[in-house]
Structure 1
């Protein structure tokens, strides 16, 4: 059993660290924009000290692998890999968008999530996540960087009600041709606490991948 899991996320404008210890999760989150490097390591040290846990006592280390900010993604992966390799701890990489779908479930109990993030240069990072009846999120294969003019086409191929997540919706000039119901939220940041719950769900289903090296998604 993975009773002690450390999760790290620096893929967006915030730094977040979460620690699972015997079914209790401790969380730390801080908006830092371009100060991830000087912020995340003290946060990790503080949460480990608060919970009286040494790195070698962890059962697993998980981190966000993107999509997101180039530097932030690489930072979280490098820290997680270094800790895992040094102490021979299982390493788990989680899609940023998958953890944000889990955040939408945590806050709104929604099972159908559309994620759109500003990719600059008239582009949108896009994904469609659906939570099935056994609690598993499906959708990592839908993650793609789209040109703005292709977003409406993607949306209008769908039907029913969908919850929207991300800062890209401010850029999308959506023309509803099929009367799809989009439910907006204020979720624009990922959080390590949702990596913990996402990983726990996979562990319960015996559907977890352990990595030696995590390939980032930009």
Structure 2
């Protein structure tokens, strides 16, 4: 892809990144309650500076979650609106994988098993394991919603950590030698992941946030109904 815009507002941070003819520009700021006010202007700033119109993009990528309920809805709505109006494909990218990519970008010499853990509130974590293999980033299991009481089980064979969940007990008591608890999803890494061969574009109306909590609650309700039969 020659021209690609990436957006993220899944955490306390808000970011946008633009690939235009081989050059990448980027905006990032901490805006816990300013996603609605900042995300679209960030995208406009990058596009105007590059002299690009939205319909000159090849696609738009975004952090699809898991993450902040409100932030995910903001990013999804903005991306759907931009893509729909310009008839562009959308590339949803996992925010946990984006954090892993950010870790790999900033810690290129670290290999092994990485645990990305994000504070999901309500005494729970969003979590996923990845294998860092040189320049390769490999999924090592499914994304999970994990009660903090069960979080110790995530630590098996972990060599590195990233994400806000590492600020919480019990993870903060058992940090590996290389751990970046301050790392947030960044549109710069979403841009990178959206350019990979395994990225899957969808139509604008198919772009949906991934909350994880919804799917877990649905599984619980299904199990309860089944057990009651």
TM-score by length of 1: 0.87
Report what 2:50 is aligned to: 51
Q: 1:208 to 1:169 in 2, by over 3 A?
A: closer
- Corresponding residue to 1:167 among 161, 164, 182: 164
Distance 2:132 2:207 in 1: 24
Residue 149 (structure 1) shift: 1.6
Residue 132 (structure 1) shift: 4.8
Q: 1:183 to 1:131 in 2, by over 3 A?
A: closer
Q: 1:173 to 1:64 in 2, by over 3 A?
A: same
Distance 2:170 2:136 in 1: 32
Residue 131 (structure 1) shift: 3.9
Distance 1:59 1:15 in 2: 22
Q: Counterparts in 2 of 1:2-81, with a 5 A limit?
A: 2-81=1-80
Residue 172 (structure 1) shift: 2.2
Residue 125 (structure 1) shift: 1.3
Residue 154 (structure 1) shift: 2.3
Partner-residue secondary structure (3-state), 2:200: coil
Partner-residue secondary structure (3-state), 2:159: strand
Report what 1:209 is aligned to: 200
Distance 1:132 1:211 in 2: 29
In structure 2, list runs of 5 or more residues that go unmatched: 212-229
Distance 1:26 1:195 in 2: 13
The alignment covers a number of residue pairs equal to 206
Residue 85 (structure 1) shift: 1.5
Residue 137 (structure 1) shift: 3.1
TM-score by length of 2: 0.83
In structure 1, list runs of 5 or more residues that go unmatched: none
Distance 2:128 2:76 in 1: 21
**2:180 paired with 1:185:** yes
Summarize deviations over 1:12-55 as a string: whole Å, max 9, x none: 11110000012211000111111110111111111100111110
Report what 1:148 is aligned to: 148
The answer (yes or no) to whether the contact 1:131–1:138 under 8 Å persists in 2 is: no
Partner-residue secondary structure (3-state), 2:136: coil
Residue 186 (structure 1) shift: 4.6
Distance 1:137 1:86 in 2: 34
Q: CA RMSD in A?
A: 1.9
The answer (yes or no) to whether the contact 1:100–1:165 under 8 Å persists in 2 is: yes
